[in-house]
Structure 1
Amino acid sequence: MTDATVIVPGGRRFIGKYRVDGVLGEGAMGVVYEGHDPDIERPVAIKTVHPHLIEAAGGQEWLARFAREARAAGRALHPNLVTVFDFLQEGRIPYLVMEKVRSTTLEDRLAARPPLTLAEIHAILRQVLAGLDCIHRAGIVHRDLKPANVMLTEGGGVKLTDFGIARLTAMDATGAGMVGTPSYMAPEQFAGGDVDPRADVYACGVLAYELVAGRKPYQGGGVEALFAAVRKGDVAPPTSWLETPPEGAEALDRAILKALSVDPDDRFPDAAALAEALAGALPAADRAGLSDTFAPRRRPGRGPEGTMLGRLSSHTMLEVERQLVARMGPMGRIIARRAAAGAADAEQMIAAVLSELSAAGEAQSMRESMLRLLADAAAPPATPAAAAAAIPPEELARLADLLRPHVGPIALVMVRRKAARAASSRALTEALADAIPDATDRARFLRDAG
C-alpha cells in the first residue's frame, strides 16, 4: 500500500484512494465511514477498528490475521452477502472497503414494527441461510450471526455483513477466546473452542426462534446464567409462546429445536439442510413481498442536523430515554430516539412521544417532565457563525486530538461539523462524546476534555 491517508483541513479527506465523505455508523469496535471509489465512481462503506483494541488483541499479529480473513471474505461473492471490495492498512490501522447498501437492519425492523408474518420470516431465513451456505463453502464461519448483522435492502433482499472477520472485530468482553454475541452463541463457542459451520446453524436457530416466538430461547441472568442455560439446552418450543400456534407448528418447532441442539452432531449438518427443513414447515417465501416491508422510511430533506436528535446533548437524550423506559419498558428508548429524529423542535418531539401513551394522567406527567428536560433545547440552535466564533481554533484542534483515537482520521472534520451547531465549548464536548460508543472511552474523553 503506497497511498498515504490524506486529511487536509478544509479540503478532501482520503483513506488510500477512497475519499471519505462522512460517518455512516459507529460502534464499540470501530467506525464505518461513507466513502467514494474514484476509479469506478461508486459509493462505498469503509470499516475500521479502534486502535486501542488492535493493540490489546495482539498488535501486528492481529493485523496480519485481519488481512488474511478480510481477503478470504472478499472472495465470497453472493447476492445475500455484503461484498468486500478492498483491504487497506494505513500505519497500524486497517480499513475494510465494502459495498454500501441502502438498508436497515433486522434488529431495527424487529424493534420498530409489528411482528413479522411467517411468510416474511421464511423469506428472511431462506436468504440468510443462502448467504451462510456460500461462506461455508468458502471455508468461512460467520461466528457472529445476529439481527444487527442482517441487512434488509430497499429491493426486498437480505444481505449478511461482518462474515468471516467476526473473530477479529467482535471482541466483546465475553471472556478470553470467545467471539460473538452471547445470546446467539453455540455452547462450543461459549467455551472458547474451535467452531465450524454448525455454530452458524445454531445461531440461525436462535434467530429463527426469536422471529417466530418474539423472544430469544434463553433470557436474563447475565452471561454466566445464559451459559449454564445454553449448555443445559432446556428450551420451550418457539410456537408455545404464540396465542394461536400456526399450521405446521410441530414441524417448525422440530426444525428450530434441532438447530439449537447442544451437541453439534445433533444439529443440521449445514445451512442447506436447515433451509430445507424450514421450507417444509413455513409458508412459501416471496422475496418480492419484502420490498415494501423493509425499505427504510425517511422524511425527505430532513437529516439529524435539523432535528432534535442532532441538537440534544447526549446527557439530555439519555435522560429522556430513561424517563420513557421507566414508563414503557425497553421500547421507550426506541420511541425516544424516533421522536427526536423526526422533530424539528421540542414541542414536536413531546407530541410524538405523548402519542404513544394512552393514559391521560400519564401523558400529562410525561409532558411536564419532558418540558423540563428539553428546556435548554427549546430555542433554535446557534448559527454556524456564532458557534464558530465562540470556540477558539486551538480548542477545536485539541478536541480533535482527543477524539482521533476513537473515530480515526475523520476526527477534525467531525469536530468542525459539530462545532458549527454547538452553542458552547461544553455543548461541543458533549456532542463529540456522544459519537464514542464505548462508555469507558466516553468517560475518559469527557475527563480529558475537561
Structure 2
Amino acid sequence: MSDATVIAPGGPRRFVGKYRIDGILGEGAMGRVYAGQDPDIDRPVAIKTIHQHLIDAAGSQEWLDRFGREARAAGRVLHQNLVTIFDFLQEDGVPYLVMERIRSITLEDRRASPEPLPLEEVHAIMSQILAGLGCIHAAGIVHRDIKPANVMLTDDGTVKLTDFGIARLTAMEATGAGMAGTPSYMAPEQLMGTEVDARADIYATGVVLYELLTGQKPYKGGGVEALFEAVRNGRMTCPSELVPTLPPALDDIVLKAMNVDREKRFADAREMREALAAVLPRADHTGLIDVAPAPRSAVAQGGPMTATMLSRMSAQTLYKIEQHLTSNIGPMGKIIARRAAASATSTEEMVEAVLREFTNEGERENMRKMIERALSDVSTSASSTPTAFPEDSLAAITDLLKPQLGPIARVLVRQVARKASSLDDLVRQVAENVTEGPERERFLKAAMSALSR
C-alpha cells in the first residue's frame, strides 16, 4: 500500500499485513495515520506511516531511521500513560507502526480554553505526564519532544504521551545526535545540540507546567536566536507574578525544573511529581481527570473554528517550504516552517511568521516570493471550500462525527468536503470512518435528518 492509496466508499477493503484499513484519522508533514482493525482479536488500531515522497526523496534514510526509533522506543515500554505500540512492519518498502487507537484530544486543544485550568486538573495532568516519563526514563529512553501537542487526554481522563519519533534509546545509542525537538520546550543543552539525558524532559515538563499555570510560554518571540539567548540566560517572569492567586511554592517547582544548570533540576520525574503533590490539590483518589474539549468560544466566538495552515496545506507543500528554508538557514528551517504553519490561519499570516526570522531585506523578499508561490494552491483550494457547502451543514456533520472520532472530525469533514460532489456524497464518505454496523447506521440517519431540516 502506497501513500497514494485512497479508501473509497463502498470499495474493496485495503490491508497492511493482517490489518484492515478503514479510513484516515489524520495527516501531517511527516506521514498519515489510518483507522484500522486487527482481525485476529477484533481490536481497533491506529496505523501510522511515512509519506511516500519522503521515502523516495534524498535523505530518506533520516526519516526511516526516525520512524524506526519511534517503534523501538515506544515498543520497549508498557504503561497506562503511554500510547501502546502493538506492531511494526514494512510492506513494499513502506514502514507502518500499529498502535492503540484512543478517543482523545491533545493538551494543546485543552489549553485553548479561555478559562484557566483548575489546579486540581493541572495536578492530575502533570502527575500522569511525569508517571509516563518515569517509565520511559527507567527503560533508558529520553523522549526529547515533550509538549502539549504530544500529550493526549482521553475520554476517561487518562493522560498518554505519544510521538517518540525523535526519542533516543540511551542504553543503545548516543544521545548527542544533534539538535532535535521543539525550540520553545527545549533545554539549553538540547538547543546547543550537545548531549542530553532525562533531565531535558524534566525541563520541557517545566515549560508545559508554566503554560498550564499562566496561559503563556515562559519566553516570548523575537525569532529563534532571541529564544536561544533567553533560554540560555534563564531569565523569566515567575508564574505567581502573572497569576497572583498561585501558591508561591509553584514558582520554586517551575524554576527548579527549568534551571539552566541541569544538575540543579529535579533528579528524576518521581521527584518532580512528589514536589507537585505537596503543593497542588488532587481531583480525586484515582488521579484521573474529567477532560472536556475546549469550548467553541475558545477558538472562534460565535462562528466556526478556523483551521491552521498545517491542517490545510498538503504535506508536499510543507515539505517544499521546509526544504527551501533548510537550504538557506540550516536544520532550523524545518522547525520554523512547521511552527509558522501551526500558528497561521492564512497564507499571509504564515508568510509573515516565517519572515520574522530574517533581518536582511533581500533575503526577506526572496523568501516571500518563494513561499507565496508554494502556498498559492492552498489559498485557492481553501477559499473554495466555504462556498461548496453551507458552513452550518459542515458544522452539523462534524458535531455528529465527534463522538466517534474526537477533534479530528472537523479536519476530516473539511478534507472530504473539498472533493465531495454533494452533501449526500460527503456524508457517505465521512461515514466510512465510523465503525461499521449500528454506529454507522445511527450516524447516517442522524446526519441525513440534520441536513434535511
Q: TM-score, normalised by structure 2?
A: 0.62
1:17/1:4 CA distance change after superposition, 3 Å: farther
Matched residues in 2 for 1:238 and 1:80: separation?
A: 27
Tell me the equivalent position of 1:447: none
1:113/1:86 CA distance change after superposition, 3 Å: farther
* RMSD between aligned residues: 3.9
Tell me the equivalent position of 2:427: none
Q: Structure 2 stretches of 5 or more lacking a match?
A: 170-176, 297-303, 314-341, 347-383, 394-413, 424-453
Q: Residue 245 of structure 1 aligns to which amino acid in structure 2? A: T
SS of match in other structure, 2:129? helix
Tell me the equivalent position of 1:106: 107
SS of match in other structure, 2:189? helix
Superposition deviation, residue 4 in structure 1: 10
Q: Residue 189 of structure 1 aligns to which amino acid in structure 2? A: Q
Q: What does the per-residue CA deviation read over 1:1-40, in whole Å, with 9 as the maximum and x for residues that have no partner?
A: xx99998972111122111111111112211111111111
> Which piece of structure 1 moves more, 62-71 or 113-122?
62-71
Retained in 2: the 8 A contact 1:167–1:179?
Answer: no
SS of match in other structure, 1:22? strand
Q: Residue 46 of structure 1 aligns to which amino acid in structure 2? A: I
Tell me the equivalent position of 1:293: 291
Superposition deviation, residue 164 in structure 1: 5.8
Q: What does the per-residue CA deviation read over 1:380-425, in whole Å, with 9 as the maximum and x for residues that have no partner?
A: 99xxxxxxxxxxxxxxxxxxxxxxxxxxxxxxxx9999643369xx
Alignment of 1:13-412 (within 5 A): 13-54=14-55, 58-60=59-61, 63=64, 66-67=67-68, 69-112=70-113, 114-163=115-164, 165-166=166-167, 177-242=178-243, 244-246=244-246, 249-286=247-284, 291-294=289-292, 377-378=389-390
Matched residues in 1 for 2:168 and 2:287: separation?
A: 34
1:332/1:50 CA distance change after superposition, 3 Å: closer
SS of match in other structure, 2:33? strand
Matched residues in 1 for 2:77 and 2:6: separation?
A: 32
Higher Cα Rg, which structure:
1
1:224/1:119 CA distance change after superposition, 3 Å: same
Q: What does the per-residue CA deviation read over 1:123-180, in whole Å, with 9 as the maximum and x for residues that have no partner?
A: 1000000000000111111111111111111111111111364569xxxxxxx93211
Matched residues in 2 for 1:155 and 1:275: separation?
A: 21
Retained in 2: the 8 A contact 1:30–1:47?
Answer: yes
Q: What does the per-residue CA deviation read over 1:304-341, in whole Å, with 9 as the maximum and x for residues that have no partner?
A: xxx9999xx969xxxxxxxxxxxxxx99969xxxxxxx
Aligned length: 319
SS of match in other structure, 1:218? coil
Superposition deviation, residue 91 in structure 1: 3.0
Retained in 2: the 8 A contact 1:166–1:179?
Answer: no
Matched residues in 2 for 1:57 and 1:225: separation?
A: 32
Matched residues in 2 for 1:4 and 1:378: separation?
A: 34
Superposition deviation, residue 63 in structure 1: 3.0
Matched residues in 1 for 2:115 and 2:7: separation?
A: 47
Q: Structure 1 stretches of 5 or more lacking a match?
A: 169-175, 299-306, 316-329, 335-371, 382-413, 424-450
SS of match in other structure, 1:132? helix
Retained in 1: the 8 A contact 2:202–2:257?
Answer: yes
